[in-house]
Amino acid sequence: MTKLKYTPRKSLGLLSFKGFSEVVGKEYEAKTVMLRAPAPEPWPDRFFYNLQPEAAQKDCISFERVRLVNEDPVLLEYGYLPISHVQGFCNNSLLDGLLFKTLSVRYGIEIENFEQDIRAILADEAIGALLKVKPMTPLVQLYRRYHTSVPGYHIYSLIYCNTEKYTISNYQ
């Protein structure tokens, strides 16, 4: 019988609903690379959550970014915000590069909790290149819907997690 070798890895509290920088920045160097700055566009045709009718009738603000820990890419995120309640969002940069802080300070929108769907997938070439892993590398995929202090206003993320060097957990 072959013994499996267990290799312990440092854990990141990325399954909590706190922001990436808040969780990771306590212990590691956290960095964000914006691949596509926030911009208005129509909602994707095949969106991963059912949208409220009001939100579905308007455009969203979308962005793409890679989150790094100690220079290692660990998350690829596609984010979506309903355009209502965030007028002028695309005209300003994120405060300290932080989405949740920007929403709180500029718009009075607080993140209260979230729901997520977690899946195991294999990296394709495009995602693998952005996370610096080979195609067919196992990744964790998260679909998230953040609930905010504004009734019916949700923020959405599609996240790919590279767990080669760090595990993800709900520890903070």
Beta bridge partners of 20: none
Instruction: Report yes or no on 5 lying in a domain.
Output: no
> In whole angstroms, what is the distance from residue 91 CA to residue 150 CA?
22
Q: Is residue 2 part of a domain?
A: no
pTM of the model: 0.86
User: In terms of residue numbers, what domain contains 149?
Assistant: 10-168
> Could you report the per-residue pLDDT of 31-62, keeping only the tens digit for each?
889 999 999 999 998 899 988 877 777 899 99
105 occurs within a structural domain: yes
Specify whether the CB–CB gap between 160 and 35 falls below 8 A: no
Residues 91-107 pLDDT 10s: 777 888 788 899 999 99
Residue 135 included in any domain: yes
Tell me if 1 is assigned to some domain.
no
Please indicate, yes or no, if residue 23 is contained in any of the structural domains. yes
- The total domain count for the chain is 1
Asked if residue 172 lies in contact with residue 18, where contact means CB atoms within 8 angstroms, the answer is yes
The per-residue pLDDT for 125 is 97
Residue 3 lies in a domain: no
